[in-house]
Structure 1
Amino acid sequence: MAELNENTFWISGIINGEYRECDGPYTTTKDMSDKGYPYVTKTPNPNFTHQKYDYTAHEWVDTSDDALLHTVEDVKEAVTELKSNSQSNTQSNDQLDKKLDKLTTLVIMSNVQVGEIRKELQAVKAQNQSAAATQPTEPTQNTTPEVEGGNK
């Protein structure tokens, strides 16, 4: 005859419409390792007076009043820190916005100046072209008579 092995498990969750935090230990001859929620084969933490199993983290979580009080205090600290960071980020965002406004103004001013320089260059170009068109062309030959001979 085969030897029967006892397997120990706890219940943490809802079973038969009733919520249980850490109910057990129970023993059975069935293999409980693959049963899952609400059956837990991992031994509870002996340091916790009240606990429940976190199926996501796969560990027992302290649910005592002291642990919950510490959790609330931790949340308060985190909120305070986030508010502080948010305020400092708002200030730094305001500073960044001011710098961005200055840079935008400088870019606009430089674009205006570049536009003015282009207009001036076009005006100078137009003047050069009109001046070149109105100037008489230089003769390619010398039309003044040359006098041959010496002194007269």
Structure 2
Amino acid sequence: MAELNETTFWISGIINGEYRECDGPYITTKDMSDKGYPYVLKTPNANFTHQRYDYTAHEWVDTSSEALLHTVEDIQNTVTELKSNSQSNTQSKDELDKKLDKLTTLVTMSNVQTGKLMQEVQDLKKQAQPATQTTETTQTTTTADEGGNK
């Protein structure tokens, strides 16, 4: 006769309209590996007095009042820390805004100076162009006269 394999499991969740946190252990000869929610094959944590199974993290979670109190304390500490960080970030943001304003002013002033320098360069080019054109005209005239004499 074939030997029957026993499987131990717990129930954590809603079954038959009733919520069960960590109900069991139960023993069956059926294969439970493909069952899933609300059946749990993983042995509960012996250190927890009240627990439920977290199907996302695949672990037992302590739900005792002490654990919940620690969770609330952790959340309060995190909120306090976030508020503190938020205030220091606000101060840092103000300092960064001031630096950005100064930088924007410097860039604007630099652009104005560059514009003035470009205008001066263009004015100098305009002043230099008539002298160059006069020299070229004189050379062309001389060449034409020389060609007529030959």
**Smaller-chain TM-score range?**
0.7 to 0.9
Which protein has the bigger helix share? 2
The DSSP-based 3-state class of the residue aligned with 1:42 is coil
**Cα drift, residue 132 of structure 1:** 5.2
The DSSP-based 3-state class of the residue aligned with 2:36 is coil
Q: TM-score, normalised by structure 2?
A: 0.85
Measured in 2, the distance between the counterparts of 1:20 and 1:120 equals: 87
The DSSP-based 3-state class of the residue aligned with 2:88 is helix
The DSSP-based 3-state class of the residue aligned with 1:24 is strand
**Cα drift, residue 94 of structure 1:** 1.4
Q: Give unpaired runs (5+ residues) of structure 1.
A: 141-152
Q: Which residue of structure 2 lines up, in the alignment, with residue 93 of structure 1? A: 93
Q: Which residue of structure 1 lines up, in the alignment, with residue 128 of structure 2? A: 128
Measured in 2, the distance between the counterparts of 1:108 and 1:16 equals: 73
Q: Which residue of structure 2 lines up, in the alignment, with residue 119 of structure 1? A: 119
Q: How does 1:3-18 map to 2 (within 5 A)?
A: 3-18=3-18
Q: Which residue of structure 1 lines up, in the alignment, with residue 148 of structure 2? A: none
The DSSP-based 3-state class of the residue aligned with 2:52 is strand
Q: Which residue of structure 1 lines up, in the alignment, with residue 78 of structure 2? A: 78
Identity of aligned residues (%): 79
Measured in 1, the distance between the counterparts of 2:3 and 2:12 equals: 29
Query: How many residues end up aligned between the 2 structures?
Result: 139
> Which residue type is aligned with residue 90 of structure 1?
T
Q: Which residue of structure 2 lines up, in the alignment, with residue 143 of structure 1? A: none
The DSSP-based 3-state class of the residue aligned with 1:57 is coil
RMSD of Structure 2 on Structure 1 (CA)? 2.0
**Cα drift, residue 100 of structure 1:** 1.3
> Which residue type is aligned with residue 106 of structure 2?
L
Structure 1 or 2, whichever has the larger Rg, is 1
Q: TM-score, normalised by structure 1?
A: 0.84
**Cα drift, residue 131 of structure 1:** 5.0
